[in-house]
Structure formats: structure tokens, C-alpha cells
Amino acid sequence: MGAMERMDLYCAAHPGSPSAARRPQLFLRSHLWIALLGPSVEEGIVGIGATVEAALRAFDAQYLAGLRPPVEALRRGLYNSRLTRA
């Protein structure tokens, strides 16, 4: 099975995932799969794994982590105070 078919199966099994919604590019480099959304690994959202599915899971985790406020800001109450001022 090819990489795109494996991505289609992953997205069908996880229809609400960032991978299904954003459809990152897939690359194979040095026996690792890279799921990339953006212009480069340095500037984009990246998931890396030994399989297509592992790379997409890692991509989903990184994508969702970028949507959450930093834990330290939550502990200090900075995030909530910014929301109440907005």
C-alpha cells in the first residue's frame, strides 16, 4: 500500500484530526516519515515517525499543542487574565 492510501485510511479513521482537515505533505527521509504543513520543517508544523501513521499522529499532537496556551502561563493565570481583558 502506498503512502497516500495509508494517509487516506488514517484520515478516514480519524476524521476530526488535524491531519484529516489540513492534509500535510508526506516525505520519506532516512527511513522516517515526515508529515509537514508549511514551507519548511523549521517554519511549519511537523510530525515524524517510523510509519506514515506514526508521523500523522505526531503531526496531530504538534498541531494541537500549538493551539493550547503554555502550561506555565496557565499556572500563573496569565492566559485567563488576557482573555478577560480582551
- Interatomic CA distance for residues 45 and 24, integer angstroms: 9
Write down the pLDDT at residue 76: 64
**Structural domain of residue 39, as residue ranges?**
3-85
30 residue type, one letter? S
Which residues of the chain are modeled with pLDDT < 50?
83-86
Output the CA–CA distances (angstroms, integers) from residue 39 to 63, 74, 76, in the order listed.
Answer: 15, 30, 34
Mean pLDDT for the chain overall? 87
CA distance 24 to 62: 12
Q: What is the rounded CA–CA span in Å between residue 19 and residue 67?
A: 14
Residue type, 78: L
pLDDT one-digit tens code per residue, 41-52: 899 999 999 999
Tally the domains of the chain.
1
